[in-house]
Copies of this chain bind each other. A is one copy, B any other.
Amino acid sequence: MKITILGCYAATPRSFTNPTSQVLEIKNNHFLIDCGEGTQVQLRRNKIKFSKIKHIFISHLHGDHFYGLVGLVSTFRLLNRESELHIYGPKGIKEIITLQLKLANSWTNFPLIFHELTSKDPQLIFENSKVSVTTIPLKHRVYTNGFLFREKEGDRKLLIDKAEEYNIDFALFKSLKKGKDVVSEDGELIPNHLVTDDPVPPKSYAFCSDTVFDPEIVPLIKKVTALYHESTFLEDQAELAFPTKHSTAKQAASIARMAEVQKLILGHYSTRYGKIELFRQEASEIFPNIVLADDGMEIVVE
């Protein structure tokens, strides 16, 4: 599981910082999460192939989270994309994008499929054989969702040497991986656990931005492998966090601690702070395992 941070700063793109966007690589899926202005350039700079992006998740309709979307869709068109593109985001996103394509007389030559979200409860919005994606309802100034990406439990690990030792026919290996007991060529019943190991524990990633401090999300993200939680402010500006419906680094760390996550990734920094290291200092008093996101960073989650 790898997260490439394309942008992780709040409010507006600047000369050297980008608004929110990241690519989650999980079980061979490349999910684009949020798409601030300049995301297509950041994809190029980070050498992520456009054709790998098949699903885009938009948390909310503030500009720093989606103003790059229409440009990316248009560029897909110019590159003669043919494969489906799925966009998941708040109701209204379809009208915004299609209005612009219509006025430019530039309909896409690939299927562009919108999944508009309106539910205030967690909702399964994507599922394939390897991964599921569920919304995490967040509290912000407009309708907002986080997203929980969860690997499904994989096959058991086959111990080839053991399987050969027990004289098990090759044709039964698939059954072994699925956890079944099998009969060897000698007619002996071989319990599964003798020739397989437990599968790699499934990993999970919760993306939570933008949001006010909200312990109601804790049960939804309990024990995830990695949590991205916004920390727009430090505690010195806590009085700004609540009315603007943002969080401080300390609040993000409190959520991480309550949810017992393995790793906390901080981002969505206000550019008023000179050094992002300050966010780590504040959060690490509450929660130990912190990664400070920064534009262009690749975070590999083992």
B-contacting residues of A (Cβ < 8 Å)?
11-15, 37-38, 40-41, 44-45, 61-63, 67-68, 70-71, 74-75, 78, 90, 92, 95-96, 99-100, 103-106, 141-142
Contact = CB atoms under 8 A, between A and B. Distances in A.
6 contacts: A11-B75, A12-B40, A13-B71, A15-B41, A37-B71, A104-B142
Nearest to A19: B71
Contacts of A15: 41, 44-45
A103 B92 contact: yes
A106 B103 CA distance: 23
A71 B37 CA distance: 7
A38 to B, nearest CB: 6
B104 A62 contact: yes
CB-based closest 3 A-B pairs: A92-B103, A63-B74, A12-B75
Nearest to A41: B13
B38 A78 contact: no
A12 B100 contact: no
Given A37-B38, A105-B141, 8 more contacts: A13-B71, A15-B44, A61-B104, A62-B104, A63-B71, A63-B74, A63-B100, A67-B100
Contacts of A41: 13-15, 38
Contact of A96 (B37, B90, B103, B105): B103
Contact of A95 (B11, B78, B99): B99
